[in-house]
Structure 1
Amino acid sequence: MDELELDDSDVSSVMKGSALYDGTRIRITLYPGAFGKRYTSLVIEGDALPWNSDLDCARSAWRSMDTEIRCSSGEWQEGQPVEDEKWWRLDKRGEQLVVWN
């Protein structure tokens, strides 16, 4: 990314910002304490992203952070039930489709 701007004045609530990638502005939203305060959720939106899929982005995050990463396996949207939804989990055991809970 060429440039990153986040409004980080209050990290206990949703943080919104933007970044410049390859000359195109992308939107970034960070949800600390997501899903019962156990996870932080990151949403990256834009017309031109460096990944072809959520899983490609998760793989990049896993390589960079070496911590468990979860991402949507498809078209899940915020607010939809997750009880039966499968998610990708990337960790030291590899990549697995798992039920969130």
Structure 2
Amino acid sequence: MKDLEIYIRDLESGAVCRWLESHVEQLVLDDGDVSSVIKGSARFGEDRLKITLYPQAFGKRYTSLIIEGERLPWSADLDCARSAWRALDTEIRCSPGEWKEGESAEDEKWWRLDNRGEQLVVWN
């Protein structure tokens, strides 16, 4: 199973549903209240997707969005982040894909997409 993970700053109620509706089918996700973990599902072609929102990831301002499935609407986290940034108009972050489980994340760089453009930055 593959996954995509992005971090959305100051997520507004209903925003993820409005964005994903144009990329997946049979979306079942109640993101009207984004203060607790939300689990949902959708279909992408013939494949079922699991969608999970984790609020207060990396501090109180970010929500982690994870999409899991055999086939995904985007090929990489950065592609997903670009789509989300265009639709949500808020800062989006994602991993550059180099980190592996067990490695130190202390100096890890993240993609930050916002009105300044796309930049690799240390999270802090």
Report TM bin, short chain: 0.7 to 0.9
1:37 is matched with 60
- Amino acid in the other structure paired with 1:64: A
2:106 is aligned, of 83, 90, 96, to: 83
Unaligned runs of 5+ in 2: 1-23
- Residue 4 of structure 1 and its aligned partner are, at CA, apart by 1.2
3-state DSSP of counterpart to 2:58: helix
Q: Measure, in 2, the Cα distance between the counterparts of 1:77 and 1:40.
A: 21
Structure 1 consecutive aligned stretches of length 4 or more whose deviation exceeds 3 Å: 7-11, 75-82
Residue ranges of structure 1 left out of the alignment (5+ in a row): none
Any idea what SS the aligned residue of 1:30 has? strand
- Aligned pairs for 1:50-89 (under 5 A) are 50-76=73-99, 82-89=105-112
In 2, Cα distance between the equivalents of 1:14 and 1:43? 11
Structure 1 residue 5 corresponds to structure 2 residue 36:
no
CA RMSD of aligned residues (A): 2.5
Number of aligned positions between the proteins = 101
| Residue identity (%) | 73
Normalization by structure 2: what TM-score? 0.70
- Report 1 or 2 for greater relative contact order, CA contacts < 8 Å, sequence distance ≥ 6: 2
